[in-house]
A and B are shown apart, each in its own frame.
Chain A
Amino acid sequence: MFDFLTEYDILGAFWVTVQLTVYSAIGSLIWGTILAGMRVSPVPIMRAFGTAYVNIVRNIPLTLVIIAMSLGLYQTLNVALGGGTITTTNFRLAVLGFVLYTSTFVCESLRSGINTVSVGQAEAARALGLNFGQVLRMIVLPQAFRSVIGPLTSVLIALTKNTTVASTIGVAEASLLMSEMIENESDVIGLVFMTFAMGFVILTLPVGLLMGRVAKKAAVKR
């Protein structure tokens, strides 16, 4: 009954899911922070760009973003992101799609975090003669990050689940293997489903618990 567990490389598939998550998370954190910086910057054109980017990209289905990477960027415009084989190309395209999409949520979380930093902090920093970049980098963002660990964890968990969308462009992660297994092993579809469902519970639950503790510890007491 549990033969299917050894016949397929389930751990390998989840390892691809983990890799997708980690690379996309790093990328989204960087691009999301830059976007948040733009949205609060003194330069109107940057604010406008940040706002427009977030409101547009956030409202496109992730599936469409990922397909646009493969069908549009790669197959029509021949941008392969330096991937040699089709496997690495699709993996990189998927990561790029996840970064473009997830960074909007990172940006919005960070912006709400920036709003929780008390006015006096920024005012004191400005009184010391720090410029905008210094205020943001040395005073506001470090406090903002500490207060948004909770929301950012939610974004990270959502990203972990969202990586399943990469299966639509053929990245061999967990859900692609599941869709294959569920067709071949049609007599045990309940078991196959529970295996993969528990896989995602195992991936997301400890992260949520751990980060919840970190968030409590890091929160700025006011």
Chain B
Amino acid sequence: MSAPSVLYDVPGPKAKARNAVYTVLFLLALAGVGWWIIATLVEKDQLTWQKWGPFFTEGQVWTTFIFPGLLNTLIAAGLAIAIALPIGSLFGILRMSDHVWIRVPAGAVVEFFRAVPVLILMFFANEFYSEYTDVDSDYRPLMAVVTALVLYNGAVLAEVVRAGIQSLPAGQTEAAKAIGMRKTQTMTNVLLPQAVTAMLPAIVSQLVVIVKDTALGGAALGFMDLFSQIRPIANNYFANTIATMTVVAVIYILLNNLLTAAAGWLEKWSRQRKTSSGAVVKPVDDNGRNA
């Protein structure tokens, strides 16, 4: 039997005993923290059925608050990725231009929007729409959230697109040149279609970042997303703040794990596909860099 990890040997009798001691100590520590949390929750009357029950017995809390909120979160995230993709692709391609006067400004725009916090973009977009446009104030938060997410994620996706195109074998460009294609034709007919497959996992995992960032709009702009339902629910159901936050967090966790799983599945699929180059762009990290 080979060792489970290069960092330690297969445990012998002594190590097994030591691991058992660590297991017990660690469980005791966990139980201590858990006990403190539960005791505090009980002391503050947070573990009553009155507060948790509505999520299991009353459909109304789901149909009035959670589902509409979740729908708004999904709409904002969907719109953001749908608009950010073409913009990101455009800037990604512009950054690879042969002309310095296109490449450098495009690069500056991308780097700028990646350095600016999304929340600041949201504040600005919201105020901009209220000052200079007559957008209905019901839709303004949604527009501001989507605008900010598009600006930030467009910049991130520009890098993903660039990495996707650069991950293709040089033979693709050479073959396109050899049959007399122009630069634009090479890009639109040969490179982009292949790069999209390579980028799919990265794009889906970027959706996780977008879904999480929509909550900023809920907190700062009054956008009626899943996050912003916490207060109204707590107000309607006996101040069950802790219960509501837990349920909302679980929904976010499930949704994001689903997206991560989809990204992993897409990555496997595009690696195995016979027609593709086998190139896959790694998901970008927390700061929108290719890891």
Provide the bound-state CA to CA distance between A76 and B212, in Å.
24
Interface-central residue, A76, A155, A158, A167, by most chain B CB under 10 Å: A76
Chain A interface, >50% SS class: helix
User: Is A151 interfacial (CB-CB < 8 Å)?
Assistant: yes
Q: Across the interface, which residues of B come within 8 angstroms of A43, CB to CB?
A: 19, 22-23, 26
> A157-210: which have CB < 8 Å to B?
157-158, 161-162, 164-165, 167-168, 174-175, 178-179, 182-183, 186, 189, 192-193, 196-197, 200-201, 204-205
Using A151-B285, A189-B128 as known contacts, say yes or no to A179 and B220 having CB atoms under 8 A apart. Answer: yes
Stretch at the interface among A80-88, A89-97, A132-140: A132-140
Contact A78 B44 (CB under 8 A): yes
Residue A19 is within 8 A (CB to CB) of chain B in the complex: no
B213 touches A155 (CB 8 A): no
Contact of B291 among A56, A135, A151 (CB under 8 A): A151
How far is it, in angstroms, between the C-alpha of A64 and the C-alpha of B245 when the chains are bound?
A: 8
Name the residue on B nearest A186 (C-beta): B131
A72 at the interface (CB under 8 A from B): yes
Given contact pairs A59-B252, A151-B285, A158-B287, A132 touches B245 in the complex (Cβ within 8 A): no
Interface size class of A (residues with CB under 8 A): 35 or more
**9 A–B contacts from the bound complex (CB under 8 Å):** A46-B26, A61-B213, A61-B216, A64-B248, A64-B249, A68-B245, A155-B287, A161-B118, A179-B123
Chain B residues close to A by CB (< 8 Å)? 4-9, 11, 15, 19, 22-23, 26-27, 30, 40-41, 44, 46, 112, 115-120, 123-124, 127-128, 131, 208, 211-216, 218-220, 227, 230, 241-242, 245, 248-249, 252-253, 256-257, 260, 285-287, 289, 291
Interface contacts beyond A61-B252, A158-B287, A168-B220: sample of 11 additional A-B pairs, CB < 8 Å, sorted by A: A42-B15, A42-B19, A56-B253, A59-B257, A71-B241, A76-B46, A76-B241, A131-B8, A140-B7, A165-B219, A183-B127
Measuring CB to CB, which residues of chain A are less than 8 angstroms from any residue of chain B? 40, 42-46, 49, 55-56, 59-64, 67-68, 71-72, 75-79, 105, 109, 112, 114, 119, 122-123, 126, 131-132, 135-136, 140, 151, 154-155, 157-158, 161-162, 164-165, 167-168, 174-175, 178-179, 182-183, 186, 189, 192-193, 196-197, 200-201, 204-205
